[in-house]
Every structure is written in structure tokens, then in C-alpha cells.
A and B are shown apart, each in its own frame.
Chain A
Amino acid sequence: MSPMPAEDRETLERLLGETGAGDAKAFRTLYRLTSARLFGVCLRMLRDRSEAEEVLQETYATVWRRAASFDPTLAAPQTWLVTLARNKAIDRLRQRREATLDDASVLEGVVDERPGPSAEAEAQDGYRRLHDCLDALDPKHANSVREAFFSGATYMELAAGLQVPLGTMKSWIRRALIQLRSCLETG
């Protein structure tokens, strides 16, 4: 099953548009098609089921309220939804970490995980190109970018988790981001 394949972009755009007009049925369908993808993202970042459920709920409440502001010329629906979910998860992580500062264990068990792309991911053009550009980077740099994206961790936490100096971590990621941009622009 592919919850959010690229070819469904049009469907998702239509559903978001109808959701923006207050169509609860369209919203329900949108949720059915996209929630597994976003829940995966929330779970991966928060590493806590009940928190991931809460953040997913907040995410879709926001989707319902902001769908009218979704502009398909500015973002793909998948991007819009993933970004919304990640921002909510990151906010939650920052709140949580304010309470448990200095807790380097947040990355425990995370850093060595290397998830393989799913079949439907392979099929997505945006993913394919990003993947190729990441492959062209120094593996350490590419790995740092992936870990940052998947964990939502700060520079400080990443440096602690991957056991490199903070300055090194910043320089890896910054260099990777700049290289990624130019690779994606030329690709």
C-alpha cells in the first residue's frame, strides 16, 4: 500500500482545497490517505507513542484550520503536510528538552538506524533526486543531515549523539546543506 504516492499529488491538492472550504468528508479522506506517513514521521522524531499521537492530532487540527491557506503553487501537498507535522514535533521536542536539558540519551538507539527507502519513496521524483544528491556527499555529512531530519535534534544533541565536537557537527551539516542546494539546482 502506498499512502502518499507522488501521482496522488492532484488528489491531495483537491482534498486540501475541499478541506479548506470546510468539507469534513474530504478532510476525513485526506486523513486516511496521509496520516500513516505523518504518524511515522512523528513517531520517529518523538520516540513516544502517546506524544506522537498528540502531535498527529494537533497536526490535523491545524490542517483543518489552515487548509484554506494552502497554495499549490508554493508547495506540494506532501511537503506542506510533512512540514506541518515536523514543525509540531520539533516544537514538542524543544519543550520537552527544556525540561530535560543535558540529557544526551535522547539520541540513544537512533544514530545507527539507517532506514531504507520504501518502494513508493523510490518512485517519487523529489525523493530520487534528493537521494542522489545525498549520495554524492561525504557519507558522514549525509548521515548527519539524515539524523537531523529524522530526529529533530539540535546541533548540540546531534554532536553529543554522534560523538563529534559541536563545531564539527555544524560545519558538516552546513556544508552538506549548501552542497545539496547546488546539486538539486543543477540536477
Chain B
Amino acid sequence: MMPLEPDDREVRYAEYVLGVLDARERAAVERESAERPAAAAAIAAWSQRLAPLAAEIAPVEPPERVWDAIRRRLRLDERTGVAPRTGLWENLRFWHWLGLGSAGLAATAAVVLLTLLLQRPTPPPIPYMAATIVQPDHRIGWTATMDIAQSRMIVIPGVPQRSSPGHAPELWLVPKAGRPIPVGMISDSAAVTIALSPSLVARLGPTATLAVSIEPVGGSPTGRPTGPVIGTGAIGAATAAASRPA
């Protein structure tokens, strides 16, 4: 077999875009694309190179029933003009609204997760994970929702314990074994979105826990929690509800 010159990976991405890989190989490339921005960029570049070939295929007008099916499936008739459907994730006001009520917040978050999942055309393998960070007084400090495909987490305050001046809450990932890993600074008054590194994403799972400690503004100087831990929450996969929409 011919050696893969000049670059195995590059060829793999091209093969993926061309469509010659089997299902298992495709899944591997898709995982890589989700984890490595460089892979995603290379795949996009190959799509840009090869997609114009579609111009050689004669267009065929699809039957009207296809549009009817799309319309019904997406319930387009119930919509009037512009609605805040997409960008729900980006809609911080929406999240903030969620964060304002603490009673039943977890339940509400579950409903939101389900809504998000149902908006997805094809649920990715592990679309979302969530954790409810409970404080010693049993009140919900924050809810954290992790979007695995996008490698990000949004942390919404419930009724968190306020930090003293000069201090701020810091979020940690606590693996089953091993020391806590800093995730990022969060806020006791606003929703915060945190980009997650691939190594952090890889550690998210039902055996890991999220914890919040009070640290100096700017974060723990040592890279480990130095202040009191004011809340913890187990990470749950939100995939259990990922039944496919019609």
C-alpha cells in the first residue's frame, strides 16, 4: 500500500470529506473534529475544495411533499416571522431569567435541557451534561450545563452565597481520583460561559463532581482550592432524555 505522503492526517480529512471512509472511520474523524479545532478547519478547507463538484450533478426539483413534511416537522406554520428560537444558548437573558428562581431550578433546568435536546436534529453522542451545585444550606448555588460538542459550560447562579469583597467564586472539576482541576471563575450574580479545554471535556462524566470555592478575585493563586468550598454537585449525563424528535 502506498505510504501516506505528505501527511496522514490531512489525507484522512480529505477522505472523510470525499466520503470513502466506513462508518467507524467516519465517527473517529468526527470525534477528532469536535476535539481539535485544527482538524475541524482542515475538514472545512477540504469541503470548500471538493463541494463544487456537486455542480456536475443535475438539479432535480423535489416533490412538494418534501417541503410539506419539513414544514410540519418544524412546525413552521405556528411561527410568525422572527422568534428567539436559535441562539437560546447565547440568550443570556433567558438563562438569567432561569437563574432568578431557585425553587425548582433543577427541575426547570432539566426542562430546558430537554428543550435544547429536542431542538437538536440529531443528538450527538453526549450532547449535554448538567450539574446542580448545592450549598450546605441545601439551597442551589448554581446550575452548570455542559455542551460537549461546543466544548463549553454555562453556569447560572441560583441563590449563591455572596463572596466577600476581594473574593469571587471559582469553579472546580473534581475527578473521582485526583486533585481538583480549575475550570474558571464564575459569578454570584450573572450567568457565565466558560470554554472547556479538550482535556477538561474528556474528564466530564458521572464519576466527576463540580465544586465551588471562594478564592481571591482572579482565581486561586496555587491552582488548588484555597478558600472554603461552598457548594458541590454531581455531573449527570443529560442524554437519558435524548429521545429523538419526530
With A117-B56, A146-B56 as contacts: A175 and B2 at CB distance below 8 Å: yes
Closest beta carbon of chain B to A17's beta carbon, Å? 11
Asked whether B58 is an interface residue with its Cβ less than 8 Å from the other chain, the reply is yes
B86: chain A residues within 8 A (beta carbon): 20-22, 65, 67-68
Residue of B nearest to A123 (CB): B55
Q: Is the CB of A130 within 8 A of B44?
A: no
How many angstroms between the C-alpha atoms of A117 and B106 in the bound complex? 56
Asked whether B1 is an interface residue with its Cβ less than 8 Å from the other chain, the reply is yes
How many angstroms between the C-alpha atoms of A63 and B87 in the bound complex? 14
Asked whether A121 is an interface residue with its Cβ less than 8 Å from the other chain, the reply is yes
Asked whether A11 is an interface residue with its Cβ less than 8 Å from the other chain, the reply is no
Asked whether B18 is an interface residue with its Cβ less than 8 Å from the other chain, the reply is yes
Chain A stretch 78-115: residues in CB contact (< 8 A) with chain B:
78-79, 82-83, 86, 90-91, 94-95, 98, 115
How many angstroms between the C-alpha atoms of A150 and B54 in the bound complex? 8
Chain A stretch 161-182: residues in CB contact (< 8 A) with chain B:
167, 170-171, 173-175, 177-178, 180-181
How many angstroms between the C-alpha atoms of A62 and B56 in the bound complex? 24
Q: Is the CB of A130 within 8 A of B18?
A: no
Binary contact track B151-169/A, C-beta < 8 Å → 1, others 0: 0000000000000000000
B53: chain A residues within 8 A (beta carbon): 127, 130, 146, 149-150
Out of A66, A118, A129, A173, which one reaches B18, CB within 8 Å?
Answer: A173
Out of A35, A86, A149, which one reaches B62, CB within 8 Å?
Answer: A35
B104: chain A residues within 8 A (beta carbon): none
How many angstroms between the C-alpha atoms of A39 and B19 in the bound complex? 18
How many angstroms between the C-alpha atoms of A76 and B47 in the bound complex? 10
How many angstroms between the C-alpha atoms of A117 and B54 in the bound complex? 9
Asked whether B70 is an interface residue with its Cβ less than 8 Å from the other chain, the reply is yes
Q: Is the CB of B70 within 8 A of A124?
A: no
Asked whether A15 is an interface residue with its Cβ less than 8 Å from the other chain, the reply is no
A22: chain B residues within 8 A (beta carbon): 79, 82-86
Residue of A nearest to B25 (CB): A154
B10: chain A residues within 8 A (beta carbon): 181
Q: Is the CB of B70 within 8 A of A173?
A: no
Q: Is the CB of B51 within 8 A of A78?
A: yes
Q: Is the CB of B57 within 8 A of A44?
A: yes
Q: Is the CB of A173 within 8 A of B74?
A: no
Closest beta carbon of chain B to A41's beta carbon, Å? 5
Chain A stretch 1-28: residues in CB contact (< 8 A) with chain B:
3-4, 18, 20-25, 27-28
Q: Is the CB of B70 within 8 A of A121?
A: no
Q: Is the CB of A24 within 8 A of B56?
A: no
With A40-B60, A115-B57 as contacts: A24 and B23 at CB distance below 8 Å: no
A175: chain B residues within 8 A (beta carbon): 2
Q: Is the CB of B18 within 8 A of A148?
A: yes
Asked whether B81 is an interface residue with its Cβ less than 8 Å from the other chain, the reply is yes
Q: Is the CB of A171 within 8 A of B2?
A: yes
With A65-B120, A79-B47 as contacts: A94 and B22 at CB distance below 8 Å: yes
Out of B11, B22, B47, which one reaches A177, CB within 8 Å?
Answer: B11
Asked whether B26 is an interface residue with its Cβ less than 8 Å from the other chain, the reply is yes
Residues on B close to A: CB < 8 A?
Answer: 1-2, 4-6, 10-11, 14-15, 17-23, 26, 44, 47-63, 65-67, 69-70, 73-74, 76, 79, 81-87, 119-122
Task: Pick the 7 closest A-B CB pairs, nearest first.
Answer: A121-B55, A36-B59, A68-B86, A171-B2, A126-B52, A94-B23, A127-B52
